[in-house]
Structure 1
Amino acid sequence: MTGRVVVTGLGVAAPNGLGSDDYWAAVLGGVSGIGRITRFDPTPYPARLAGEIRGFDAAESVPGRLLPQTDRMTQLALVSAECAFADAGVRPEELPEYDMGVVTASFSGGFEFGQNELRNLWSRGGQYVSAYQSFAWFYAVNSGQISIRNGMRGPSGVLVSDQAGGLDAVAQARRQVRKGTRLMVSGGIDAMLCPWGWVALLTSGRLSTSQDPARAYLPFDAEAAGHIPGEGGALLVLEDANTAESRGAPRIYGEIAGHGSTFDPKPEAGHAPGLQRAIDIALSDAGTRPDQVDVVFSDAAAVPELDRIEAEAITKTFGVGAVPVTAPKTTTGRLYSGAAPLDLATAFLAIRDDVIPPTTAVSLSGEYDIDLVTGSPRTGKPVDVALVLARGQGGFNSAVVVRKYES
């Protein structure tokens, strides 16, 4: 074991592309997956846009026996895990079951499944509620179903901390690899586009009510007025660098080099938010100087006060306009626990191809002293180190440094 934890497989499920190739092409082309909700009628609600994964038929990829016991979220997670294994050149059935583990993040659990069963309870009676309701709604269900499906009995768990949880889960998986687990699957997949989930999201007060998909999600823009929710995310295969090399992994996307997490103080405490400190901890953990970072993948709250906090954290660490900043999630919406793992996958693709994807449809406000990449992808310079940021409602902050792998 080297202590260096690398990513060898990506499984992506995004509103603008199923699979990393389709997603990456869409992001570089500025193709958005945001539109009016079709999974239910959004007319009665003030917010009506979302990033939906269209054309996904679980019956084509998920065993029939699992369909009645899984939420859409878990079906997407099972398919994404399968894609990640295939990308990594791993056949789980050929590995010792205690040498593999799963750590995912969750924001909502299986809301749509839960909504349907509660409807049965209220309208028809308890005898019509599925026995699978006992776990299909649960936060840990993705970790559980992935581990069962693939015979993975090593260290497993789930983190629940909104968008920040996606990075914290990957950091926990990294710890388990460093402790000796041969292979970990980690990341997050969320899907809560149903009336029950939608009402819950509206209570945050942070959803954009714009009806124009092209101008609805605008982080760091003078017209920013909330985010657009979405479904999906990414799962990653993590291994020790020596293990990956010795088995002849088809590719090594890069290294999970550093992680930092903090919690904001109470507003009345008068202390600064914790995002910058999370950045500092992650850079220190990675042994990386600020001037070595080639791009920052932003949390991109699209709430003016939160955008200001993030921009200030970036400029205080790196200097005014000193590092490119991007938010490709403007093409997908915020995917909650799946958002940051998708940003990690995007960062590794950016490192692979030496290109920084753009933040679509946004005009940078003069209020923010950051170098926001807009319009088209930025090329011409190597992309060796990326910083991914994520925050969660309630004060969670997380930062991960990833870098190109050199043996």
Structure 2
Amino acid sequence: MTATVVVTGLGVAAPNGLGAEDYWNAVLRGVSGIDRLTRFDPTPYPATLAGEITGFDASASLPGRLLPQTDRMTQLALVGADCAFADAGVRPAELPEYDMGVVTASSSGGFEFGQNELRNLWAKGNEYVSAYQSFAWFYAVNSGQISIRNGMRGPSGVVVSDQAGGLDAVAQARRQIRKGTPLMMSGGIDASLCPWGWAALITSGRLSTGVDPATAYLPFDGRAAGHVPGEGGALLVLEDAEAALTRAAPHIYGEVAGYGATFDPAPGSGREPGLRAAIERALEDAGTRPAEVDVVFADAAALPELDRVEVEAITAVFGPRGVPVTAPKTTTGRLYSGAAALDLATALLAMRDDVIPPTTGVRLAEDYDIDLVTGAPRLLAPLRTALVLARGQGGFNSAVLVREFRGHRG
């Protein structure tokens, strides 16, 4: 019998809230973390806004020896993992080390650390380049540092599929639990708000050049003209349901019930984009009918051609205005490998509280026939099933369905 995989802990680092509850309260109130960049002067660049995490002090949570070894991205991830474990009531030191693994997503690695070391190389010479550069920049560094810090020697890895990565990582973690590992840490946290990282993001051609934080990122809106990048994401504790029940986990947010992933065909092929197929595969994997889905958390690219593809995929599966749709990432920006993981955490919180957070600041374009939740949160009781969508540049499409855990305690 295939193991049921549940989420028992959330660790959130977002531009509008550090910690799951602070973030969740901000999203419900429509509080945005998007503003003009302060980590460096963005004046020379065409894009100047970002979802930037403020008030984070790594030295308050991490041992001093780790600070010179790690990029900001990894520091956020380590603290996020600590929060997820605490939320789940898990003390890693008390568990068998081979019963715990880590799979995270990354889209850029430790860019800021790498930039600083390149500056030392150019300005001072190679003897001033830190030995930690050999791994601090690496895509897998978050998985590695989380596993080392917590003594986790079970199956571990990293997934690199841009914005879709957070969902793909969770799916890989679910696969490992079904193979016999009782507990996995998964999700994604990204941070590349430095000149080197910013220059790389701009090359996508997808960034908004708007200067008003309230109107720069408007998915599904007639004014949509690109997205605002951000930093942060979420890490989740996933467990075999029976193991979670046996140890009397403080809470079970929900079950990771379905997953689907596809890759878009080559441009000009005339073939349909792959997002619809990813949705259908996730529903099939979960044994769930479209009518049973209570809300869709959209990818929300905020480019008209990509928004239209997503609208068409949703309406093809659920029908016109057939399911509530929301994109709370308008308050954070798109967080790359952290984006979908944060949406997944948001979906689980929405299920917990029976409320759909709004797509803040957006006026739905007249030709998009979806039921977009805007303005204020929408109460929906019971909210039992949520579908999270994500797309990565280059053609990645992923969908994860989470639902209320149907098992029983004790």
TM range (shorter): over 0.9
Instruction: Point out where structure 1 has 5 or more consecutive residues left out of the alignment.
Output: none
Contact 1:8 / 1:88 at 8 angstroms: preserved in 2?
Answer: yes
Hey, what does 1:57 align to over in structure 2?
57
Map Cα deviations across residues 170-196 of structure 1 (whole Å, 9 max, x no partner).
000000001110100000000000000
Counterpart-to-counterpart distance in 2, 1:404 and 1:94: 28
Asked if 1:301 is matched to 2:301, the reply is: yes
Hey, what does 2:177 align to over in structure 1?
177
Map Cα deviations across residues 96-137 of structure 1 (whole Å, 9 max, x no partner).
000000000000000000000001111110000000000000
Hey, what does 1:162 align to over in structure 2?
162
Contact 1:2 / 1:241 at 8 angstroms: preserved in 2?
Answer: no
Hey, what does 1:384 align to over in structure 2?
384
Alpha-carbon RMSD? 0.6
CA-CA distance at 1:335 after TM superposition: 0.2
CA-CA distance at 1:380 after TM superposition: 4.0
Hey, what does 1:200 align to over in structure 2?
200
Hey, what does 2:374 align to over in structure 1?
374
Map Cα deviations across residues 256-282 of structure 1 (whole Å, 9 max, x no partner).
000000000001211000000000000
CA-CA distance at 1:2 after TM superposition: 5.6
Hey, what does 2:115 align to over in structure 1?
115
Counterpart-to-counterpart distance in 2, 1:84 and 1:2: 25
User: Which amino acid is 2:379 matched to?
Assistant: T
Give secondary structure in 2 for the equivalent of 1:163.
helix
Counterpart-to-counterpart distance in 1, 2:146 and 2:216: 34
Hey, what does 1:263 align to over in structure 2?
263
Q: Which has the larger displacement, 380-389 or 351-360?
A: 380-389
Counterpart-to-counterpart distance in 2, 1:100 and 1:240: 11
Map Cα deviations across residues 190-239 of structure 1 (whole Å, 9 max, x no partner).
00000000000000000000000000100000000000000000000000
Hey, what does 1:33 align to over in structure 2?
33
Contact 1:257 / 1:402 at 8 angstroms: preserved in 2?
Answer: yes
For normalisation by structure 1, the TM-score amounts to 0.99
Asked if 1:42 is matched to 2:42, the reply is: yes
Asked if 1:144 is matched to 2:144, the reply is: yes
Counterpart-to-counterpart distance in 2, 1:359 and 1:270: 32
Counterpart-to-counterpart distance in 2, 1:380 and 1:138: 42
For normalisation by structure 2, the TM-score amounts to 0.99
Instruction: Point out where structure 2 has 5 or more consecutive residues left out of the alignment.
Output: none
User: Which amino acid is 2:263 matched to?
Assistant: F
Aligned residues: 407
Counterpart-to-counterpart distance in 1, 2:37 and 2:8: 34
Hey, what does 2:358 align to over in structure 1?
358
Map Cα deviations across residues 271-327 of structure 1 (whole Å, 9 max, x no partner).
000000000000000000000000000000000000000000000000000100000
User: Which amino acid is 2:92 matched to?
Assistant: P
Hey, what does 2:242 align to over in structure 1?
242
Contact 2:356 / 2:380 at 8 angstroms: preserved in 1?
Answer: no
CA-CA distance at 1:62 after TM superposition: 1.0
Runs of 4+ in 1 over 3 A off after TM superposition: none
Contact 1:2 / 1:242 at 8 angstroms: preserved in 2?
Answer: no
Asked if 1:290 is matched to 2:290, the reply is: yes
User: Which amino acid is 1:14 matched to?
Assistant: A
